Structure 1
Amino acid sequence: MNADESSLGRCPECGECIPKTWLLIEYKTDDNETDLWAECPACESVVAPE
């Protein structure tokens, strides 16, 4: 994850920063980790930000 609080991280497809406002879903996994999916505003892909 990115240290910038207004960002979810970077798109693994194009490398652009993904703002929190583009978050689609956030959920807990079976091992109690938090995962999320977001749409990248630059390449319009649905990704798991890095």
Structure 2
Amino acid sequence: MTPDESSLGRCPDCGEPIPSAWLLVEYERADGTEGVWAECPSCEDVVAPE
């Protein structure tokens, strides 16, 4: 992992940062905003990063 790697946010379950490399799905919500699902490398859950 490189130091300048961007983060998608934090895992809502364990609070650890989720690197962008762990992105699974990127989608557009009905209100036009972007949503993502990613796998947390720490707890191994699929989550919507916060």
The answer on whether the counterparts of 2:25 and 2:38 sit within 8 Å (CA) in structure 1 is yes
Equivalent pairs counted in the alignment come to 47
Q: What is the aligned partner in structure 2 of residue 16 from structure 1?
A: 16
Higher-Rg member (1/2):
2
Matches within 5 A, 1:1-50: 6-50=6-50
Q: TM-score, normalised by structure 2?
A: 0.88
Runs of 4+ off more than 6 Å = none
Segments of 5+ residues of structure 1 without an aligned counterpart are none
Q: TM-score, normalised by structure 1?
A: 0.88
Identical amino acids, percent of aligned pairs: 68
Deviation at 1:46, TM superposition (A): 0.2
SS in 2 for 1:18: strand
